[in-house]
Structure 1
Amino acid sequence: MITPNSLPVFRVASRVMDRRTPPDVEVLTLAAGIRVRLHRPPNAAQTGPALLWIHGGGYLIGSAAQDDLICRRFARELGVTVAAVDYRLAPEHPYPIPLEDCYAALSWLVGLPSVDSTLIAIGGASAGGGLAAALALLVRDRGEFDVAAQLLVYPMLDDRTSTREDLDDHHHRLWTQKSNVYGWSSYLGDADPNVAVPARNPDLSGLPPAWIGVGTNDLFHDEDLAYAERLTAAGVPCEVEVVRGAFHGFDGVVPKAPVSRAFFATQVDWLRRNLVQRESAEA
């Protein structure tokens, strides 16, 4: 459980992981001061699709390095460039700082010579999925460029879940109700939730196609399915993958289990249809 007392311990573990940089990962510091870990596909074409990946951690912990393996898999299996962003964390850096960091990284990725700016997806897991959803809304509203797709892996979308009294912590693993309260309060700070929280946005129209995956024993199950329904109602194509019996972050705990492999395979298939095959159709 993440609490104010345990937060420093998690942060130390994250810093240890940051020191490990595989030889095929480029660590860059952007002009905005944000770090990005770049994963290039083998035998890449001159220009091609890309994915901006946003790590999870309840807005409180984690780093881009923790997802080196999954980013490498996306790059290898899809043949796309993957950039993982090290956004600043709450509570020291509340909304909108983490979101603006992600926007700065996306803006940089749009201008990368090896990337087709019309074929960029954004994605993330847990809080990273929540930031990806918020980023899709921000991109739509600012209108400076477009995003082709949004991959939301058990995303943390709605702060109102933290006030529900009908949720049983005993059924939830890795991310509990108490951690959720702490995460949202730290991220929001003094911000207006109606502005900062994706699920509170009254207008979901005009967003890129979405994929949402979540387990039935995940604290975010209800809010994720509700968001998917609202996307569909707003005319946004949305595919949903519900994994029966799965808890939050199950695929990271048992990545080699058949259910975890199948969960990742559906993400790859969806990205292939919305990025790689779209590139071929437009060529």
Structure 2
Amino acid sequence: MASFSLGGLLITSHGCCPESKYRVQDHKVSVEGGEITVRVVIPKSGDAGATYPLVVWLHGGGWALGNLDQDDCSLRLLSIELQATIVNVDYRLAPRYPFPTGLNDSYAAVKWAALNADQISVSLAKGFIVGGLSAGGNLAAVIAHRARADPFFRDKPLTGQHLSIPATLHYEAYPEKYKSELRSWEDNKDAKILNEDSIRRFYKHYQAPADDPELSPALYPSHAGLPPAHIQVCGLDPLRDEGILYARLLRDAGTPTRLDIYPGVPHGFQTMAPNISAALKLKDDTYSGFRWLFAGGK
């Protein structure tokens, strides 16, 4: 059993599914100035030579909290449900490691997974998705943009991005033309779990320039040529409207985009109330969203 704290809430991860259905490997990945750990979950199909699509997962926690145990149980279930290899990334955290360290670590892990596909029972032709929750969703969105321009991915492109309750636009960098659409920062400033004060603290720890597209991916000059995106947004989240705007920007650029909205619940509500109807819907949408991405956003 492992525990971590998010916004003052203690989250506990328990053993959650039979290990006969998957195997787990921890690997070290070299990064600038050190190394990080990735945890790989691989389904057991009974076929020794079986290969699976790949999901690289980036945890939430405001770039300053979280570890491999945070989503461990849900990722094992996801691996079984999707029959996919999941690479869970333990990127280094702010403020000790400020921007862009966590982003660069995550990008290195995505490349490691692609280079070691055979070792982790992956066929990239079956799917290559980067995904994450909250700050991890922010990292995944930026990585999708980075990969678009990187020759490394020319023959092994990302095929999808799963952005769950992502941060996509720093509150100090709202473009004038979108300010009328971005009301949730004010509407939900006192929200449960994640509020204005906690977001300000997380941004302060991360130390990224507000108008840098590698912090605020909505500010990239172009969103064309990105892989299909599945975006999830909570109605009582200060980040709500930037997630909705980001979905529209992707669609307007021709990126197949699926947007799921959960009215009346705050950011990360599923960790506090995993059995309410909205949380069960979010879980179902997550599974169906990944399948939609594996099908090329069709």
Per-residue Cα deviation, 1:90-148 (whole angstroms, up to 9, x for no partner): 11212221111111111111122011223210111100001100111111121311111
Q: Which residue of 2 aligns with 1:141?
A: 149
TM-score of the superposition, structure 1-length normalised?
Answer: 0.85
Residue 259 (1) aligns with residue 282 (2): no
Q: Is the 8 A contact 2:168 2:243 kept in 1?
A: yes
Q: Where in structure 2 are the equivalents of 1:211-226 lying within 5 Å?
A: 211-226=230-245
Q: Is the 8 A contact 2:211 2:219 kept in 1?
A: no
Q: CA deviation at 1:29?
A: 1.3
Q: Which residue of 2 aligns with 1:6?
A: none
Q: Is the 8 A contact 1:91 1:189 kept in 2?
A: no
Of 68, 71, 83, the match for 1:67 = 71
The runs of 5 or more residues in structure 2 that have no matched partner are 175-182
Q: CA deviation at 1:213?
A: 0.7
Q: Is the 8 A contact 1:54 1:85 kept in 2?
A: yes
Q: CA deviation at 1:169?
A: 2.8
Q: Is the 8 A contact 2:161 2:293 kept in 1?
A: no
Amino acid paired to 2:159: A
TM-score of the superposition, structure 2-length normalised?
Answer: 0.81
Identity of aligned residues (%): 31
Of 100, 107, 112, the match for 1:108 = 112
- In 2 relative to 1, CA 93–17 (structure 1 residues): closer, same or farther, beyond 3 Å? farther
- For structure 1, which segment, 247-256 or 40-49, has the greater mean C-alpha deviation from structure 2 after superposition? 40-49
Amino acid paired to 2:162: L
Q: Where in structure 2 are the equivalents of 1:1-283 lying within 5 Å?
A: 10=5, 24-32=23-31, 33-43=35-45, 46-111=50-115, 112-113=117-118, 114-118=121-125, 119-145=127-153, 146-160=157-171, 166-170=186-190, 172-189=191-208, 193-275=212-294, 277=295
**1:273, 1:86 → 2: CA distance?**
26
Q: CA deviation at 1:175?
A: 1.0
SS at 1:218's partner residue? Answer: coil
Which structure has more helix as a fraction of its residues? 1
| Pairwise CA RMSD | 2.8
Q: Is the 8 A contact 1:129 1:156 kept in 2?
A: yes
Amino acid paired to 1:142: D
Amino acid paired to 2:147: V
Q: CA deviation at 1:222?
A: 0.6
Per-residue Cα deviation, 1:246-283 (whole angstroms, up to 9, x for no partner): 110011211222321211111211211322x56xxxxx
Amino acid paired to 2:61: G
SS at 1:89's partner residue? Answer: coil
- In 2 relative to 1, CA 161–73 (structure 1 residues): closer, same or farther, beyond 3 Å? farther
**1:127, 1:159 → 2: CA distance?**
12
Q: Is the 8 A contact 1:37 1:65 kept in 2?
A: no
Q: Is the 8 A contact 2:209 2:215 kept in 1?
A: no
- In 2 relative to 1, CA 55–97 (structure 1 residues): closer, same or farther, beyond 3 Å? same
Amino acid paired to 2:138: G
SS at 1:40's partner residue? Answer: strand
Amino acid paired to 1:144: F
Q: CA deviation at 1:63?
A: 1.0
SS at 2:69's partner residue? Answer: helix
- Count the aligned residue pairs: 266
Q: Is the 8 A contact 2:82 2:291 kept in 1?
A: yes
Amino acid paired to 2:145: L
- For structure 1, which segment, 161-170 or 113-122, has the greater mean C-alpha deviation from structure 2 after superposition? 161-170
Q: Which residue of 1 aligns with 2:179?
A: none
Q: Is the 8 A contact 1:152 1:213 kept in 2?
A: yes
Amino acid paired to 1:117: L
